[in-house]
Chains A and B, each alone.
Chain A
């Protein structure tokens, strides 16, 4: 189809009104897409927060009102020349007829420049003949057979008047990885350059949709028909692995599974007795029984209180620890009692009162300011980053400035913030909408405005926890999945949006639906994940799945959280650590205050919870942690302590081989293999006296506590 025919089709769809209206160029639907396609309104150009060269447009044309004002009205209309349209800056600059820092963006006298000129000649009318109703791309999922294959992308817009228009030419297709997919901006033909799963984002007007393109990782077909399946999780995971032609690793052995699931559900290493019993049980349902036993344990309550406390960022403020204590105590009760997550959330969102007594009211002491509260709340409970919509409509999502400042306006009706012990309603509270300069109207994001007066939190909480809410359940099941599997179906976990699709979209939907059907029970979803064959796979990769780090063909190895590692070291060494002025013997995972004094937790990279711990997890560890573990007092001091487990075992006359075996079982949940046993026997045998033998055994314990196998869950 020629460009001319396309252009005419683009210009002429309408509702059959008068000719003059049909022929009038539609600013919203025709002019803005040209600027977007040409890249004029990107963040690197006039879409930047401060604009460029004194000319500012809304990012990707997200705010047509603003753009019209900027183009037509500002500076006495200097950017358009109504007397001599072809002399307008809007035409001269992008065609580089005069100097333009952005270079040539439109072809001189090309169809796009002509359309801009025509619109100016018509007097820069601001009409929107029809509103965009739906935007589709085809294909939205494509599996190619080889690298080098090409794919024609097509975009279609459905307008409110019924018009269906091919808008491929005005759609911007952006691959997430330009080295994997190359797209011709003129023809929208994609060439696939690399194997793997790739995402291309298509943008037209205010809509952005993802296109998923898969190029299998090998040429050989992989059949997973006989792979183990326990529930719907395995169906979805194996289906994608088959598409990608990635083989799966076998199931993990029982002891590996025991260690993994015990750490994931309780944050503790299995005891030596548990290791022995699990090896000897040999019953068909022993994994399921183990999971149920762990889920009903006190250790589960303690550990998952920590997990949720990290999400809620529970911490002391200034010298006030009482609020954090009360919050933590309330949270632990919810976990212990199995309070449904929706109920739990509603109680948090609608809480007010004395934070020393009303635990959930501390939610409103987490951050300072209504806008920060809106950001925190949306990231926590919706898995969405509304913060982008503070300054401009979200460029990659549906959120507008009205949504962001409207949600902030709900929280502005509270007296809150870290220094406020009492959380109470303040009906005069408001936030200023930066675009209008007026008080923002309280709003449920993406849904509806609320009355200006009164407390909007009830309405927000009711909407959020409604079973049809598209964000709430997904946000939490994605985090549960990440906790168990080492990677979220969507990463980052607080950035769920259409243009950052899940690796397994259907699986995320099923997990969310299943969570809602089972009354928002955290334990149910954790159990479902733990029972799946995908969770139970070996961490050992195969030659053809070694590079897989997101499709679950083998188990992913994860660093132990700082609190879990600190407790594990204490447990193995037999010497508890001291945390601030807490009762001696208090475990790190049981601490309610992330600010409590502890060198060990600082060394291990604990999250201070003044910001999201999900981001902190990515940065934790590293060289400093390794060096401290190797050389610092954290392990060495306790290793040589006369009350240590090792000292006691030596004192009661245990043989070195027995000591080695016991430590292996405690630290790694397995017996030493022959090579390891032989090595340590040889080392101990070389000792000439008891003191030297003790030194060697201390070295042995040190090596266990610093090895990668100990410091990870795998």
Chain B
């Protein structure tokens, strides 16, 4: 039986003003001891969503978020998940802290483990599909590794960050990787040679995540969020920091709405902030969960956001269309 709690977004007046809809759901077994939700991935068809925590992987239906199944994984901690471009595989990344980092590839929708990619000496923090046959991983061991999934072997190692590498994205038209690090830097890499093209060092503290703007005209744009409480926008191919927004809470996770019109940021106060990338104005601050919100994902078709964080909390948010 599913037990519902009072929606966390109880500030009705505020919610009415800035949020189109705000549905709060707490899994039935969510207690003070529930591990935090650390990764969210929508299935390509948008009918379900996969949620990860130290308790493992679970699949929830959409939009009700009822748990429909638990998945088996060998990872102790999970920090990221990503569906392959063709939608037939789910890469689950994490590891055993301070010992190993790995990626488990599950066939979708069977959720049978098809392979494991081992080769990091500490947890993998991010996994990104370059194409349907290769992924890249970033790890607390300071390395970025590019893998051939079919061959189950690493094909390239990118070294340059002086601390753990927190996230990565691939700019396919430019053949470059952009990585972010706990060393406060973004690095732009030539994906062919594996060499650093440039280092972007405007952040003043650890960078948690980066997110590539969905296809729009002009130069590729990447948003980064950092412990310095800023969201910065970059044009990595020309090494330019375009602008930044200073927040009053620390951003932990970032994504773009599917049309690239807004940036959605999850923060340590459990709120979601919607930011206009052109003006870096915070258009809305939406209460989502209680405590740190580690993960945020945008639904592939209906435009909803799903936020996860402390105590196993999950929250669906429907941004106000007028804010776009």
Nearest CB in chain B: distance from A711 CB, A: 53
- Contact call B76/A81, Cβ cutoff below 8 A: yes
Contact among B35, B77, B79, B292 for A73, CB-based, below 8 A: B292
B-binding segment of A117-125, A221-229, A278-286, A499-507? A117-125
- Contact call A121/B182, Cβ cutoff below 8 A: no
Judged by a CB distance under 8 angstroms, whether B267 is at the interface is no
Query: Which chain B residues in 215-251 approach chain A with CB under 8 Å?
Result: 228-229
Q: Which residues of B contact A93 (CB under 8 A)?
A: 98
Judged by a CB distance under 8 angstroms, whether B32 is at the interface is yes
Contact among A75, A78, A83 for B55, CB-based, below 8 A: A83
Judged by a CB distance under 8 angstroms, whether B24 is at the interface is no
Query: Which chain B residues in 116-136 approach chain A with CB under 8 Å?
Result: 123
- Contact call B54/A81, Cβ cutoff below 8 A: yes
- Contact call B77/A123, Cβ cutoff below 8 A: no
Q: Which residues of B contact A79 (CB under 8 A)?
A: 97
Judged by a CB distance under 8 angstroms, whether B2 is at the interface is no
Judged by a CB distance under 8 angstroms, whether B89 is at the interface is no
Judged by a CB distance under 8 angstroms, whether A584 is at the interface is no
Judged by a CB distance under 8 angstroms, whether A54 is at the interface is yes
- Contact call A99/B98, Cβ cutoff below 8 A: yes
- Contact call A89/B33, Cβ cutoff below 8 A: no
- Contact call B32/A125, Cβ cutoff below 8 A: yes
Tell me the dominant secondary structure on chain A's binding face.
loop
Judged by a CB distance under 8 angstroms, whether B140 is at the interface is yes
Nearest CB in chain A: distance from B215 CB, A: 29
Give Cα distance in the complex from A81 to B36, angstroms: 10
Query: Which chain B residues in 44-95 approach chain A with CB under 8 Å?
Result: 53-56, 76-77, 79
- Contact call A437/B34, Cβ cutoff below 8 A: no
Nearest CB in chain A: distance from B48 CB, A: 22
Interface residues of B, CB < 8 Å — how many?
A: 29
Give Cα distance in the complex from A79 to B31, angstroms: 19
Judged by a CB distance under 8 angstroms, whether B294 is at the interface is yes
Judged by a CB distance under 8 angstroms, whether A77 is at the interface is yes
Contact among B38, B76, B268 for A87, CB-based, below 8 A: B76
Give Cα distance in the complex from A93 to B97, angstroms: 10
- Contact call B32/A123, Cβ cutoff below 8 A: yes
Give Cα distance in the complex from A2 to B182, angstroms: 45
- Contact call A82/B98, Cβ cutoff below 8 A: no
Contact among B32, B36, B98, B229 for A77, CB-based, below 8 A: B36
Q: Which residues of A contact B31 (CB under 8 A)?
A: 123
- Contact call B55/A76, Cβ cutoff below 8 A: no
Q: Which residues of B contact A54 (CB under 8 A)?
A: 140, 163-164, 182
Give Cα distance in the complex from A224 to B228, angstroms: 65
- Contact call B99/A98, Cβ cutoff below 8 A: yes
Contact with A along B277-291 (1 / 0, CB 8 A): 000000000000000
Judged by a CB distance under 8 angstroms, whether A428 is at the interface is no
Judged by a CB distance under 8 angstroms, whether A517 is at the interface is no
Closest residue on chain B to residue A120 by CB atoms = B33
Closest residue on chain A to residue B229 by CB atoms = A437
Nearest CB in chain B: distance from A68 CB, A: 11
Closest residue on chain A to residue B252 by CB atoms = A76
Nearest CB in chain B: distance from A250 CB, A: 66
Give Cα distance in the complex from A92 to B228, angstroms: 30
Nearest CB in chain A: distance from B250 CB, A: 9
Contact with B along A167-184 (1 / 0, CB 8 A): 000000000000000000
Contact A122 B33, CB 8 Å, known A78-B97, A93-B98: yes
Query: Which chain A residues in 501-549 approach chain B with CB under 8 Å?
Result: none
Contact among A78, A122, A125 for B77, CB-based, below 8 A: A78
Q: Which residues of A contact B77 (CB under 8 A)?
A: 76, 78, 81
Nearest CB in chain A: distance from B141 CB, A: 11
- Contact call B33/A123, Cβ cutoff below 8 A: yes
Nearest CB in chain B: distance from A74 CB, A: 9
Contact A77 B35, CB 8 Å, known A83-B54, A437-B229: yes
- Contact call A89/B294, Cβ cutoff below 8 A: no
- Contact call B229/A82, Cβ cutoff below 8 A: no
Q: Which residues of B contact A99 (CB under 8 A)?
A: 98
- Contact call B294/A76, Cβ cutoff below 8 A: yes
Closest residue on chain B to residue A76 by CB atoms = B38
Give Cα distance in the complex from A84 to B33, angstroms: 11
Query: Which chain A residues in 90-120 approach chain B with CB under 8 Å?
Result: 92-93, 98-99
Nearest CB in chain A: distance from B16 CB, A: 30
Instruction: Give the contact-size bracket for chain A.
Output: 20 to 34
Give Cα distance in the complex from A574 to B32, angstroms: 85
Give Cα distance in the complex from A273 to B302, angstroms: 104
Give Cα distance in the complex from A98 to B34, angstroms: 25
Q: Which residues of A contact B294 (CB under 8 A)?
A: 76-77
Give Cα distance in the complex from A98 to B53, angstroms: 22
Nearest CB in chain A: distance from B138 CB, A: 13
Give Cα distance in the complex from A77 to B313, angstroms: 14
Give Cα distance in the complex from A76 to B294, angstroms: 7
- Contact call B98/A89, Cβ cutoff below 8 A: yes
Q: Which residues of A contact B140 (CB under 8 A)?
A: 54, 75
Nearest CB in chain A: distance from B201 CB, A: 17
Q: Which residues of B contact A92 (CB under 8 A)?
A: 98
Closest residue on chain B to residue A438 by CB atoms = B248
- Contact call A82/B34, Cβ cutoff below 8 A: yes
Give Cα distance in the complex from A93 to B311, angstroms: 24
Closest residue on chain A to residue B79 by CB atoms = A76
Give Cα distance in the complex from A278 to B216, angstroms: 98
Contact A84 B98, CB 8 Å, known A76-B36, A123-B31: no
Give Cα distance in the complex from A87 to B34, angstroms: 16
Give Cα distance in the complex from A76 to B228, angstroms: 17
Give Cα distance in the complex from A82 to B54, angstroms: 7
Nearest CB in chain B: distance from A143 CB, A: 49
Closest residue on chain B to residue A99 by CB atoms = B98
Q: Which residues of B contact A84 (CB under 8 A)?
A: 54, 76
Nearest CB in chain A: distance from B229 CB, A: 6
Give Cα distance in the complex from A99 to B38, angstroms: 25
Contact with A along B8-49 (1 / 0, CB 8 A): 000000000000000000000001111110100000000000
Nearest CB in chain A: distance from B297 CB, A: 15
Candidate in B32, B79, B97, B164 with the most chain A CB atoms within 10 angstroms:
B97
Q: Which residues of B contact A87 (CB under 8 A)?
A: 76
Q: Which residues of B contact A76 (CB under 8 A)?
A: 36, 38, 77, 79, 294
Closest residue on chain A to residue B96 by CB atoms = A87
Nearest CB in chain A: distance from B58 CB, A: 13
Nearest CB in chain A: distance from B253 CB, A: 10
Closest residue on chain B to residue A55 by CB atoms = B98
Contact among A82, A89, A121, A125 for B97, CB-based, below 8 A: A89
Give Cα distance in the complex from A393 to B53, angstroms: 34
Closest residue on chain B to residue A81 by CB atoms = B54
- Contact call A77/B38, Cβ cutoff below 8 A: yes
Q: Which residues of A contact B55 (CB under 8 A)?
A: 82-83
Q: Which residues of B contact A89 (CB under 8 A)?
A: 97-98
Nearest CB in chain B: distance from A88 CB, A: 8
Candidate in A76, A79, A82 with the most chain B CB atoms within 10 angstroms:
A76
Give Cα distance in the complex from A247 to B72, angstroms: 80
Contact among A73, A78, A82, A121 for B123, CB-based, below 8 A: A78
Contact A121 B33, CB 8 Å, known A76-B79, A81-B54, A437-B229: yes
A76-B38, A77-B36, A123-B33 given. 8 additional CB < 8 A pairs?
Answer: A54-B163, A73-B292, A76-B79, A77-B294, A81-B35, A82-B36, A98-B99, A125-B32
26 contacts between A and B (CB under 8 A): A54-B140, A73-B268, A73-B292, A73-B310, A76-B77, A76-B79, A76-B294, A77-B35, A77-B36, A77-B294, A78-B77, A78-B97, A81-B35, A82-B34, A82-B55, A83-B35, A83-B53, A83-B54, A83-B56, A84-B54, A87-B76, A93-B98, A98-B98, A122-B32, A123-B31, A123-B33
- Which B residues fall within an 8 A CB radius of A? 31-36, 38, 53-56, 76-77, 79, 97-99, 123, 140, 163-164, 182, 228-229, 268, 292, 294, 310-311
- Which A residues fall within an 8 A CB radius of B? 54, 73, 75-79, 81-84, 87, 89, 92-93, 98-99, 121-123, 125, 437
Which 6 interchain pairs have the tightest Cβ spacing?
A123-B33, A82-B35, A123-B32, A76-B38, A83-B54, A78-B97
